[in-house]
Structure 1
Amino acid sequence: MTARTTRTTRLDDGVRSALGALSAAAKRGLGDPALAELVQIRASQLNHCAFCLDMHLGIARKEGVGERQLDLLAAWEEAEGVFDARERAALALTEAVTVLTEGFVPDEVYEEAARHFDADRLAHLLALITAINSWNRLMVGRRIPPGSTQW
């Protein structure tokens, strides 16, 4: 077994504050705290960020997201009747922005999201997806464990 490289837990206070402010503003502007948590959890699942999953699952429960939705979030596309059309559009956009499989967000995914969110809320949803992806990369890149207070 090879030894694991020690990674930094350091994060510049200015970076933390700026990214935290972006996350908070995006969540506030989206205007749906439960949906915001579903989006952040789904991105964190895709990015394998245990720290963010741990944090956002706890927040989601406090925001009233049901266990059934949390249990089936990884398979939301197949979980008919569990997520409404608006949630499904937000989750599809989350996956498209997070993974960028085709190198861009497909028009049909964006257009479906635009049918469920006005321009301001859609802008905040995109900002929230961008913010959580940044947080995921900061935490995964440094291997910050779930529940850590040193990050």
Structure 2
Amino acid sequence: MSTHGTTPRLPVFRLAPDIYAPLLALTRAAKKGLDPVLVELLLIRASQLNRCAFCLDMHVTEARKAGETEERITLLSAWEEAPAHYTEKERAALAFTEAVTVLTGGFVPDEVYERAAAHFDDAELARLLALITAINSWNRLNVAARTPAGGVL
């Protein structure tokens, strides 16, 4: 049985600082025009799926600052079982986030895309897709480098 070590491995952004700025720019550009609370919910959900403690710590803090409730943050990993706590638009965006993050079967199902498209226009969908892509990049870099929660990039 393998273990998942917790000792930081690699200060990737300090060693390759030119990687940080473009990824941050993508993240900021993707957020434009999107509801900040929804953004943080999606960033938390992708980070839960990717098991990124650093990003979870950061985005739970940001969600609280944006006005998100503790109850909704706590229930986020089981959002499908708590439909009364999230709007249909949020649920569509969460389903889209999960489908893009996990890519089950190597694709995003049409019904998931169409559900999101019913609540977001094409420009918003493009930003959602960019946001989900960005957080998955942040998650993968931080998980592989073992950046600790509360640590510095």
Deviations 1:68-106 (A, max 9, x none): 110100000010210000000000000000001121000
State the 1:66 CA deviation: 1.1
Alignment of 1:31-70 (within 5 A): 31-70=34-73
State the 1:67 CA deviation: 1.1
Q: 1:54 to 1:4 in 2, by over 3 A?
A: closer
CA distance in 1 between counterparts of 2:51 and 2:60 reads 14
TM-score, normalized by length of structure 1? 0.93
Among all aligned residue pairs of Structure 1 and Structure 2, give the percentage whose two residues are the same amino acid: 60
Aligned to 2:87: 84
Q: Which moved more, 1:4-13 or 1:133-142?
A: 4-13
Identify unmatched segments of 5+ residues in structure 1. Answer: none
Aligned to 2:18: 14
CA distance in 2 between counterparts of 1:26 and 1:18 reads 12
Q: 1:35 to 1:5 in 2, by over 3 A?
A: closer
Runs of 4 or more consecutive aligned structure 1 residues displaced over 3 Å after TM superposition: 3-6
**Matched residues, number:** 148
CA distance in 1 between counterparts of 2:32 and 2:37 reads 11
Q: Which moved more, 1:12-21 or 1:34-43?
A: 12-21
AA aligned to 2:87 is: D
State the 1:10 CA deviation: 2.8
Aligned to 1:139: 142
AA aligned to 2:81 is: E
Residue in structure 2 matching 1:94, options 86, 94, 97: 97
State the 1:13 CA deviation: 1.7
TM-score, normalized by length of structure 2? 0.92
